[in-house]
Amino acid sequence: MATARALPVLMYHHVSPNPGLVTVSPQTFRDQIAGLAARGYRSVGCADLAAFLAGRPLPAKSVVITFDDGYLDNYLHAHPVLREFGFTAVLFLITGRLGDGPARTGGDAPDHRTCMERIGAGRADDVMLRWSEVEAMAGAGSFEFHSHTHTHTRWDRQIADPAARRLRLAEDLAQSRDALRQRLGAVSGHLCWPQGYYGDDYIAVARQAGFDHLYTVEKGTCLAGTDPLRIPRIVTKDRAGRWLPSRLWLYRRPLLAAAYAAVS
C-alpha cells in the first residue's frame, strides 16, 4: 500500500445555498466529496493526524476535512453528504453559541454576514447548531467534535494587559473543555484558534489548558514532523469539477505544496 508523504487539512465554514464569505454551496460540497470518493480518497480524523505527525504512516490519499464554528447549515447540508459517501469531518465548535432543543429537519441557512448579525442580536439559535444535532452527527459518524474556544473572542483586541489577556483566554478554554466534556463525555487535545490568531503566549496558555494540537489558517500541508502546535490548513472555495482534486494533488507532494503555498 502506498503511504502518504503529506496530509492535507481542508478548511470549511458554511455549506449554504446563500453565497458569500467562507461558503460553498450544497451542490459544490457534494461534488467535491463525491469527487474525492471517486478518486479513492479517505477522510481521517484528528487522532490519525496526530499519529501521522508523530511518524505513523497513513494511506497515500488521506485527507482531513475540517469545519470551523458550528453553523446549522453544517447539519442541514454537509452532514447528509458525508453520510452518503462514508466520510467523517472534524468540526471545531464555539461551545458558547450552541443551544438546546430538538434536532431540526429544516431551517434557514443564511449567508455569513447575516449569521453574524443574528448572533450579535442574541439569536444564535437561528443559525448555530444545537447540542442535539451535534449528538446526532457524532452518533452517525459524520463528524467528530473539538474546541474552537467557548466565545470565539479575539482577546488581543479586547484586553491590553498581557497577564489579564492570558487569564481570560485560559477561562475561555476551560469553559470550552467543560462544555465538551459535559455534553459529549470527552474532550480532546485539539484546538482551532479563532480567526487563526495566536502567539507564543497563546500557545503556552493552550498547552497548560490541555491542548497539544493547535490548528491555524496558515497555508501549507502536514508532513511527518510538522509542528503540532502550528497545523496548517487549505482554504476551500466554491468551485466544483477538478478544482479540489488538483489542489490535493499539489498538497500531497511536499515540495510542490511548499512552492504553491509560498506564491498563492
| Residue 134, domain member (yes or no) | yes
Whole domain around residue 94: which residue ranges? 9-263
| Residue 80, domain member (yes or no) | yes
> Would you state the cell numbers that stand for residue 161, as one nine-digit string?
494587559
| Residue 198, domain member (yes or no) | yes
**pLDDT score for 108:** 84
Q: Beta-strand (E) ranges in the chain?
A: 9-12, 14-15, 23-24, 42-43, 62-69, 89-93, 143-147, 190-192, 213-215, 234-235
**pLDDT score for 1:** 65
| Residue 68, domain member (yes or no) | yes
| Residue 88, domain member (yes or no) | yes
| Residue 131, domain member (yes or no) | yes
Helix H or strand E encompassing 31: helix 26-38
Give the total number of structural domains in the chain.
1
For 30, residues 6+ apart whose C-beta sits below 8 A from its C-beta are 81, 84
User: What CATH number is associated with residue 91?
Assistant: 3.20.20.370
| Residue 1, domain member (yes or no) | no
> Would you state the cell numbers that stand for residue 197, as one nine-digit string?
490568531
For 204, residues 6+ apart whose C-beta sits below 8 A from its C-beta are 166
Q: What is the pLDDT along the chain (264 residues), one digit of tens a residue?
A: 689 999 999 999 999 999 999 999 999 999 999 999 999 999 999 999 999 999 999 999 999 999 999 999 999 999 999 999 999 999 999 999 999 999 999 888 999 999 999 999 999 999 999 999 999 999 999 999 999 999 999 999 999 999 999 999 999 999 999 999 999 999 999 999 999 999 999 999 999 999 999 999 999 999 999 999 999 999 999 999 999 999 999 999 999 999 988 887
**pLDDT score for 261:** 83
101: DSSP letter: S
Measured over all CA atoms, what is the biggest interatomic distance in the chain, rounded to whole angstroms? 53
| Residue 3, domain member (yes or no) | no
